[in-house]
């Protein structure tokens, strides 16, 4: 059975421009691209090739992820 004992934390920090800065869209929305490579984490928990859930948790409540995530193997990035 899957449970918390099978979880792994991988942290990353990305600084993005404020939507209040000059040149931001009128709706206060910024779009950007972030690449998170988790191959080492998958290997650490012996999950390579398995189906997994990836949860992205912003550090502030003001961030919304509006686009679908694309997950691909590191070899193809």
Distances, alpha carbon 61 to alpha carbons 8, 50, 72, in Å = 23, 31, 27
| pLDDT one-digit tens code per residue, 42-69 | 888 787 777 877 777 777 777 777 777 7
Nearest to 10 by CA among 61, 53, 49: 53
For the whole prediction, is pTM greater than 0.75?
Answer: no
Indicate the SS3 state at residue 50: coil
Rounded mean pLDDT of 4-33? Answer: 64
How many distinct structural domains can be found in the chain? 1
Asked if the model's pLDDT at residue 37 lies above 60, the reply is yes
- Per the structure, the complete domain to which residue 15 belongs is given by 1-77
Check residue 39 and give its pLDDT: 80
Tell me the Cα Rg of the chain.
Answer: 16
């Amino acid at each position: 059975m899957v449970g918390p004992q099978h979880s792994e934390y991988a942290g990353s920090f990305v600084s993005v421009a404020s939507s209040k800065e000059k040149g931001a869209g009128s709706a206060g929305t910024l779009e950007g691209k972030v690449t998170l490579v988790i191959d080492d984490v998958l290997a650490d928990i012996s999950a390579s090739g398995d189906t997994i859930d990836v949860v992205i948790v912003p550090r502030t409540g003001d961030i919304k992820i509006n686009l679908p995530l694309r997950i691909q193997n590191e070899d193809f990035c």
